[in-house]
Amino acid sequence: MAAGTRGSASTGRRRQSVTIKHVAADAGVSLQTVSRVINNGPNVRPAMKERVQASIEKLGYVPSIAAQRMSGSRSYLILAINDRDRTIADWRAREGRDWIDQMLLGGMLTAAERGYRMIFELVDTHSDHVERELGAAIAALRPDGVIVTPPHSENRQIIGLLAESGIPFARIGSKEEGPGIAITMGDEYLAALATDHLIALGHKRIGFIAGPDEYSLAGWRIDGWREAMGRAGLSADGLCQKGDFSFESGIAAANSLLDCPAPPTAIVASNDQMALATLQVARERGLAVPEDLSLISFDNSPVVRFTDPPLTAVEQPIAATVSRAVEMLIDARTHAPSSEPVQIQGELVVRRSTGPARAGDR
């Protein structure tokens, strides 16, 4: 069927059926010329470009990835990888974690705005076959950029493979010197922000439940908490317990803190699951939140808005961070990225789980 006869169909059907071949036929040019126009390629005369653009608009053509890749210089794909075991465990638990959702929100929308697509893959950090897994994905997709998230972003094997491939990549949650674009979410700042909020409410004994050592950001959050405590002239001794981001580890850590001879009157937990665990421990001990114990969480996933009371939480800018990573990877083709780590800052969302310290505890 000729392109002209397709015009009588509905707009929805027309947009779905028009291909690069129809554009080339309507404009009277080759497929390669249409591809060069779509890809802003060189050596296309202005008059020819206008003719092709007019046909694209007339036919309602939406360029496909296949058409864009005809130029051979770009794939128009950004590959984002996340830890397989932890991601699958989170999905199966169905406990409201939204790290992946926020990644996709920020990355896919920004990629689409720039004429790209973002592909999401899971890779096992601890696998002996990680190089083969990632190498196969890169060979199959030929991405123009790769986004790696914690703990992949500090896995030397993965970083080495990406550096050898010559593909631009972004390391989220990493400040280490080395190849790739380092991007953080201001973990020290956010932990200090949460701690300062509690200090302003009169709390002096502020406990902290940290994440596992395999994540550098876990240590950065401890640093931010300690810094805020030190600025206020408060001791942090004996007030930090480590978990592994699981609910069960949060139970153990909260019990350890509250069993201290001088237990904290407020606790900052390094993720929502450990904060929810702390809330449960407080209830089991007959402690009212926030009257007896103020509580702050990291992540701010949807579930913390529906607890009783709703949790004050650090809003990690996951979507904005992945969006920025996509932008920088696309722009890396024409502009050398900064060698300094890029920081995207979040904010503290105050709800009803934090309140003034009791008069005798100030």
pLDDT tens per residue across all 362 residues of the chain: 344 444 444 444 444 577 888 888 999 988 878 877 876 666 778 888 888 889 888 888 876 655 555 555 678 899 999 888 888 888 888 777 788 899 999 999 999 888 889 999 888 766 667 777 787 778 778 899 999 988 888 888 888 888 888 889 999 988 888 888 999 999 999 999 999 999 999 999 999 999 998 888 999 999 999 999 999 999 999 999 999 999 999 999 999 999 999 999 999 999 999 999 999 999 999 999 999 999 999 989 888 999 999 999 999 999 999 999 999 999 887 777 777 789 998 999 999 999 999 877 77
**Does residue 189 contact residue 317 with C-beta atoms inside 8 Å?**
no
Superfamily of domain 3-69: lambda repressor-like DNA-binding domains (1.10.260.40)
**Does residue 191 contact residue 225 with C-beta atoms inside 8 Å?**
yes
Cα gap 101→175, rounded to integer Å: 24
Residue spans in the chain of domains classed CATH 3.40.50.2300: 77-185+318-331, 187-315+348-361
* pLDDT score of 8: 41
CATH of domain 77-185+318-331: 3.40.50.2300
* pLDDT score of 346: 92
* pLDDT score of 5: 41
Closest CA to 176 of 120, 124, 219, 130: 219
Cα gap 21→42, rounded to integer Å: 21
* pLDDT score of 315: 93
Instruction: Encode burial over 151-169: b for 16+ CB neighbours within 10 A, e otherwise.
Output: bbbbbeebbebbeebebbb
- pLDDT tens digit sequence for 144-179: 999 998 888 888 888 888 888 888 999 998 888 888
Closest CA to 78 of 181, 187, 176: 181
Q: Is the pTM of this model over 0.85?
A: no
Strand, coil or helix: 10? coil
CATH of domain 187-315+348-361: 3.40.50.2300
